[in-house]
Amino acid sequence: MIKTLFNIYNMSIISKESVVQLFCTDMIVSGQTLFEGETKNLPNDISTNLLKDDILFHRIDLLEKSLVSNICEIIKNAVGDDDVLIPISGGVDSRILLLCAAHVLKTKRIHCVTYGAYQGNLEHKYATAVCRSLGLDPPEFHLLDGSIYQDYIPIMLKKTLGRVSAYHCHLLSYLEGKNYTLPNKILSGFYADAVCGYAQGPEVERWEHSYWYKGVLRKADCLGFELEDLKSIQEVLKEKWDFYKSQELVRSFDEYLYINLRSRFLLGALKDAYESCGKQIITPWSNALVASIALNAPRSYRKGKVGFRQCIAKFNSKLGSIPYYSSIEIKTFRGLFQKYERLFVTLLEWILDSTSNDSLDTRKINPWMNEIHGRVIRKELQEKMRFDSSEIVSSGLLSKKIVDRVAKRHYRSFWHQAQFHLLALGEALRYQKSIIKSK
């Protein structure tokens, strides 16, 4: 028998018979759960994202003291002599899970699966690199599209009024052999947050004449949503906004909205729905990474200088679109921007400076990045989790030479993922800019 270890913000162990909820309660500090009242409504066969992932994402000290040892013990007790299937994305949480499983189990008993809109996407490359770094076979790839929904999401929505992850649907499809499809009228937790946020949010007067608001109305109309579908979720959304604001987790309503719209799989599903209705999908971020920075930035990033949004517009007009970045990077960059704005400003100024032909002075960046990463779990974990940089050549824009150079210089441990991507992006754009100038 093969059991499945499942990790998305909280830990769960899934088998064909049951799902064991493991919310790592000794990691949760007062005030770090979203709506503790929702837990009583959880069905006993599923886990739901109830944790404020950004807070826990960089709590390395708690990971060191609690999570790693807990996960290893859980795996040992739950798996027994069975083989294990682990869906991984290459993100920090699934890497920790995989590392712990490899520590407890023999590698021959571990089978990995990944997913995406197409084989060879960035997450698939990360997952492959992680597996190889631990001596595992490359992960099996599964297409993640609209075929994994149907009866499941509406049931979850009624029970939790919360978020439903594509991971859940994917795993149920995989384990139960069913084909979950996306019906015409369906309200996922992610999409409900988005629609309520724009159409009925606490600052609706700001948005009712904006392209955000109009775009959401078009989405709701073409997907066949009814206003009644939104009302039951509005109170939850208002609670979320109050919570975010009271905890100073967001600085603005647009940042709050972005938090509820970060789902990449959702955009893919919506795109199919738009095109089937003969309408073109319009998203406020043609480039996910740049927009994630822009949406979390203050209106003007430095007094007396051009506004951040204008900076992004200038950036895109000069260089065109840059490689697509997944929700893993978006979450990382969004979480880092608030405290480390200078880092992004420095990088953007450097990229936009047409006279700059030199490498970015990392002496300006490393101190801030070191503050971000704090303590690491253990030195041996760092060594095991280093990527093979040849697996992270992105979409043809980054040459292997550039990636190897950046990785060798800057990618000191797996906690430096944000720094690696930031600098690799800068190297790629500087290279692209030099080509433009030479023409």
What residue type is assigned to position 198 of the chain?
A: Y
3 state DSSP class of 5:
strand
Give the model's pLDDT for residue 18. 27
The pLDDT value given to residue 114:
72
Cα 246 to the chain's mean position, in Å? 24
- What are the tens digits of pLDDT across the range 263-303? 322 333 333 333 333 333 222 222 233 333 333 333 333 23
Rounded (5°) CA angle 63-64-66: 65
Task: Inform me whether the pLDDT recorded for 116 exceeds 50.
Answer: yes
Residue 273's pLDDT is 32
> Which one has a higher pLDDT value, 392 or 247?
247
Enumerate residues 6+ apart whose C-beta is below 8 A from 411: 386, 387, 389, 419, 420
Distance CA 372, CA 38 (A): 31
352 vs 142, residue with greater confidence: 142
pLDDT of the residue at 73: 66
Residue 260: band (very low, low, confident or very high) from pLDDT cuts 50, 70, 90: very low
Instruction: Measure the CA–CA gap between 247 and 239, rounded to whole angstroms.
Output: 12
DSSP run (H or E) holding 116: strand 110-116
CB contact at 8 A, 396 and 411: no
Whole-angstrom distance, CA of residue 35 vs CA of residue 21: 17
* C-alpha span between 333 and 92 (Å, rounded): 13
Whether the Cβ atoms of residue 267 and residue 283 lie closer than 8 Å to each other: yes
Q: What is the pLDDT of residue 138?
A: 84
112 contacts: CB under 8 Å, gap ≥ 6: 85, 86, 87, 88, 98, 127, 131, 136, 137, 138, 139, 140
Q: Given this model, what pLDDT does residue 81 score?
A: 75
Stretch 346-361: mean pLDDT, rounded? 38
Average pLDDT taken over every residue of the chain: 41
- At 106, the pLDDT band (50, 70, 90 cuts) reads confident
Element (H, E) at 21: strand 19-22
Is the Cα dihedral 42, 45, 51, 53 positive or negative? negative
CA dihedral 373, 28, 249, 39 (to 10 degrees): 140
Tokens standing for residue 8: 């998305």
Model confidence, pTM: 0.30
The residue among 153, 147, 156, 152 whose CA lies nearest residue 181 is: 147
Residues with Cβ within 8 Å of 134's Cβ and at least 6 positions away in sequence, in order, are: 98, 99, 102, 107, 384
Return d(Cα 66, Cα 278) in angstroms, integer. Answer: 51
Query: What value does the mean pLDDT take over residues 180-191?
Result: 28
Residue that wins the pLDDT comparison between 390 and 56: 390
Q: Is 358 a residue whose pLDDT tops 60?
A: no
Tokens 């029970």 identify what position? 159
Residue 242's contacts (CB-CB under 8 Å, 6 or more residues apart) are: none
What digits encode the pLDDT tens for the residues 68-97? Answer: 555 566 667 666 777 776 766 554 455 556
**Quick one: average pLDDT of 131-135?**
73
Question: Bridge-partner residues for 51, per DSSP?
Answer: 33
Structure tokens that stand for 431 in this block: 């290279």
CB 9 within 8 A of CB 53: yes
pLDDT digits (tens, 9 = 90+) for 12-57: 333 222 222 222 222 222 222 222 333 333 222 222 222 223 333 3
What's the token pair of residue 336? 């880092």
- Is the model's pLDDT at 112 over the cut of 70? yes
- 209 CB-near residues (< 8 Å, 6+ apart): none
pLDDT band at 327 (very low <50, low <70, confident <90, very high): very low
**Can you read off the two tokens belonging to residue 191?**
């999409």
Sign of CA dihedral 294, 299, 305, 306: positive
Of all residues in the chain, what percent are helix, strand and coil, respectively (each to 5)? Answer: 55, 10, 35
Structure tokens given for 131: 């597996």
Residue 13 identity:
I
Q: pLDDT tens across 192-214, in order?
A: 333 333 333 333 333 333 333 34
Amino acid (one-letter) located at 101: A
